[in-house]
Amino acid sequence: MHELPITKSIFKSVIAKAESVGAKSVRMVALEIGVLRDFIPEFVQKYWNYITPGSIAEGSVIQIKEIDATASCGKCGTIYRIDTKNIQDSKCPECGYDYGTLITGRELKIVGIEIESCKEDKVDK
């Protein structure tokens, strides 16, 4: 259920950004979310549909790119992918050392916002 407050904060950022460039509406929002965030993408879209009505982001689509969890081995520096179902047992595939520094997997970034700008507006009578 932690998706809701985070979706709300994404919403605030998106609206602020879109308004700062004079957007008429938001069509699409692209996110990068690390797998360790334990997000369920469908929930994000569901909450998005719940939050956005009445705003310029109403009807927009969320695109989520999931980022794999990777770590750098504390011994030999090899970068390897972490099996998120088995994090405690993740080891360096090169030397077997079991302590690594997390590199990716905890991202939560807005990487793109597609907007419809006011400039395309037809002039109202």
Interface with Zn ion (CB under 5 A): 73, 75-76, 78, 92, 94-95, 97
Q: Which amino acid is at 91?
A: K
**CB 91, min distance to Zn ion, A:** 8
Look at residues 22, 24, 66, 23 and name the one whose alpha carbon lies nearest to residue 44: 66
Quote the CA–CA distance of 104 and 95 in Å, as a whole number. Answer: 20
Contact present, 44 and 63 (Cβ < 8 Å): no
| Sign of the CA dihedral running 28, 15, 11, 70 | positive
**CB 74, min distance to Zn ion, A:** 8
**CB 75, min distance to Zn ion, A:** 5
- Judged by CB, which is closer to Zn ion: 82, or 92? 92
- Judged by CB, which is closer to Zn ion: 19, or 98? 98
Can you name the residues that pair with 72 across neighbouring β-strands? 79, 101
- Judged by CB, which is closer to Zn ion: 75, or 109? 75
**CB 87, min distance to Zn ion, A:** 17
